[in-house]
Amino acid sequence: MKAKNLNITIDGIDKKILRKLMEDARTPILEIARLVGISGAAIHQRLKKLEKSGLISGSQCIINHRVLGYNTLAFVGVYLDKTMSHLDAVKLLKRIPEVLECHFTSGQWSLFIKVTSKNNAHLMHILNENILTISGVLRTETFVSLDQQIDRQIQI
């Protein structure tokens, strides 16, 4: 079965390559070639095609924030004043290193952000001293994550 979007068609070989890289992005190309049954050069060409299409947007090293002492993870709904530009708010939120993600949302919040902190006191400091002091931020609504149960990508 082939999956297709406007830019690319992926076949069974592409899916095998992607699954292996999603399992471990550091897998050598030659190991993938042996697994799939085609040459390393063919794997390399397919990866370039997938990157060019935008399906693969790179690889990354994932840091375990808990090992660094950031033991509290929270999701924060941010209410903005109607006169506050969403883009201006995002620019200021980018300056706060503990803000890991920021999403424009439909619904009650203007923005929804993911924040890591060392503990609840540190989270309160980030909220009160960094986020709520941004001009145009009216208030926030915070949800502390007790434990993450699912962490995955879309299946290929």
pLDDT for 104-114, tens place per residue?
A: 999 899 999 99
Query: How much is the pLDDT for 82?
Result: 82
Collapsing DSSP states into helix, strand and coil, what is residue 101?
Answer: strand
Q: How many domains does the chain have?
A: 2
Task: Please indicate, yes or no, whether residues 83 and 140 belong to a single structural domain of this protein.
Answer: yes
- DSSP secondary-structure letter at 131? I
Give 139's strand partners.
79
Does residue 31 lie within any of the structural domains?
Answer: yes
Task: Please indicate, yes or no, whether residues 78 and 132 belong to a single structural domain of this protein.
Answer: yes
Give 80's strand partners.
137
CATH at residue 25? 1.10.10.10
Instruction: Determine if the pTM surpasses 0.95.
Output: no
Measure the CA–CA gap between 24 and 90, rounded to whole angstroms: 32
Query: How much is the pLDDT for 7?
Result: 61
Query: How much is the pLDDT for 48?
Result: 93
Query: How much is the pLDDT for 3?
Result: 55
The answer to whether the CB of 130 falls within 8 A of the CB of 96 is yes
Distance of CA 32 to the CA centre of its chain: 25
Task: Please indicate, yes or no, whether residues 136 and 76 belong to a single structural domain of this protein.
Answer: yes
Distance of CA 23 to the CA centre of its chain: 17
- Across the chain, which has 156 residues, the per-10-residue mean pLDDT values are 63 95 93 95 94 88 93 97 86 97 94 98 98 95 96 88
Query: How much is the pLDDT for 27?
Result: 94
Structural domain of 32: 3-53
- DSSP secondary-structure letter at 4? E
